[in-house]
Amino acid sequence: MAKRNTVLLIYTGGTIGMVQDVQSGTLVPFDFEHLLLQVPELKKFNINIEVVPFTPAIDSSNMHPCIWEKLCKIINENYHKVDGFVILHGSDTMAFTASALSFMLHNLSKPVILTGSQLPIGTIRTDGKENLITAIEIAATKKNGKSIVSEVCIYFEYKLYRGNRTHKFNAEHFDAFHSPNYRYLAKAGVYIDYNFEALKKPSKEKFFIKTKLDNSVAVLTLFPGISLHLVEAVLSNKFIKAIVLLTFGSGNAPNDAQFISLLKNAIKNGKIIYNVTQCNAGSVIQGRYETSEQLQEIGIVAGADITTEAAITKLMYLLGNYKSTTTIKQLLQQNIAGELSN
């Protein structure tokens, strides 16, 4: 008889494990054992499923770098015991967690798949069952004795995406996630169709984790008429080391002299400014238009086609592990975990 593969299911919380409180009508977490009772199909799998539940369960709005560190440590402790990992997580901040883990987990040769649902798993029309069942199946699947998937992913509504390329774009539809700048990794139908060219190759190096993060990061979203007082308040904050500057289109910003001066002074004072587009798809190309030419000249780092979620978590990771501003700026422009197109 063929060896049964083992998947470690890590339950952090989220809508998939919620139930409606009779008195208040609000959704509250319930005991994880009830989740397994709601999905009896799991017993039909020729897969060993081990479970690590978070107690208490965490609403994804309360997600924090310390939870990412905890997830990394759980994966590290069980890495050589199981064949793959599935993390049940609230969808609201799932792209942040997937992005962070992609930088913190090094030399993966096994899948780490995040999934959840838009409706609680106990409701009749829930999307949670399919998401959970297929995520587990993908996490356990091997070809020639090796895992087909060997990276951090998000599985939602019949598609598997690279985790640090995703963005939650819809709060109501089951198709909640998009990966606009990178193709899907697999699509589930009658069979699971893997996009082998898009998948990362499994690492032959020893797996290890880096859990040190520095959250001294701010996000400054530009809009027409933005107050220079607001810009200055963000850029001059002594507790902030790096700023994700969410710009227009392909990396454009006002060319007002005072605005440019504030950016220039911040860089002179050691701040790192990362230019990321507000658009859901496309890439920052500094210097393409006159309104981004000065950004290039004063030393702002172009974020290419990185997502906002990946930009924030990549900065946290780099600030936590490197002291040299020059090195951090160089790495921001390099693809280190599949987050940027070559």
Does residue 161 lie in a domain region? yes
**Is a pLDDT exceeding 70 seen at residue 30?**
no
pLDDT averaged over every residue in the chain: 91
CATH number (domain holding residue 248): 3.40.50.40
Active site residue 15: yes
**Is a pLDDT exceeding 90 seen at residue 33?**
no
**Is a pLDDT exceeding 60 seen at residue 170?**
yes
Same domain, 71 and 161: yes
pLDDT of residue 43: 76
Does residue 165 lie in a domain region? yes
Does residue 134 lie in a domain region? yes
**Is a pLDDT exceeding 70 seen at residue 303?**
yes
Please tell me which residue in 15, 93, 115, 134 is annotated as part of the active site.
Answer: 15
Q: Across the strands, what pairs with 84?
A: 7
DSSP single-letter state for residue 164: G
Same domain, 126 and 235: no
Same domain, 203 and 229: no
Residue type for 266, please?
Answer: A
Same domain, 114 and 254: no
DSSP calls for 267-296: HHTT-EEEEEESSSSS---TTSSHHHHHHH
Kindly indicate the confidence band of residue 3, based on its pLDDT and cuts at 50, 70 and 90. Answer: confident
Tokens 């798809």 sit at which residue?
281
Segment among 27-41, 242-256, 283-297 with least mean pLDDT: 27-41
- Residue scoring higher pLDDT (45 or 241): 241
Helix (H, G, I), strand (E, B) or coil at 204: coil
Helix (H, G, I), strand (E, B) or coil at 235: helix
Does residue 339 lie in a domain region? no
Q: Are 196 and 202 in contact (CB under 8 A)?
A: no
Same domain, 174 and 267: no
DSSP-based helix, strand, coil % in the chain, nearest 5: 30, 25, 45
Same domain, 37 and 164: yes
**Is a pLDDT exceeding 80 seen at residue 15?**
no
CATH number (domain holding residue 154): 3.40.50.1170
Same domain, 191 and 76: yes
pLDDT tens, 172-201? 767 778 999 999 999 998 899 999 999 999
Does residue 342 lie in a domain region? no
pLDDT tens, 250-292? 999 999 999 999 999 999 999 999 999 999 999 999 878 777 7
Cβ contacts of 282 within 8 Å, gap of 6 or more? 180, 181, 249, 250, 305
Same domain, 223 and 204: no
CA–CA dist 261, 274 (Å, integer): 16
**Is a pLDDT exceeding 90 seen at residue 35?**
no
For residues 122-147, give the mean pLDDT.
88
Cβ contacts of 330 within 8 Å, gap of 6 or more? none
pLDDT of residue 140: 96
Full residue range of the structural domain in which residue 288 is found: 217-332
For residues 210-228, give the mean pLDDT.
98
Radius of gyration of the chain (CA): 21
Q: Across the strands, what pairs with 7?
A: 49, 84
Does residue 72 lie in a domain region? yes
The total number of structural domains that make up the chain: 2
Does residue 132 lie in a domain region? yes
For residues 194-222, give the mean pLDDT.
97
Same domain, 46 and 193: yes
Instruction: Tell which of 178, 209, 240 closes a domain.
Output: 209
pLDDT of residue 149: 98
Same domain, 300 and 204: no
- Residue scoring higher pLDDT (48 or 124): 48
Instruction: Tell which of 145, 175, 209 closes a domain.
Output: 209
Kindly indicate the confidence band of residue 340, based on its pLDDT and cuts at 50, 70 and 90. Answer: very high
Segment among 38-47, 61-70, 253-262 with least mean pLDDT: 38-47
Q: The whole model's pTM is what?
A: 0.94
Handedness of CA 6, 212, 93, 122 (dihedral sign): positive
Instruction: Tell which of 209, 237, 257 closes a domain.
Output: 209
Same domain, 52 and 156: yes
Closest CA relative to residue 135, chosen from 117, 109, 108: 117
Does residue 269 lie in a domain region? yes
Same domain, 253 and 204: no
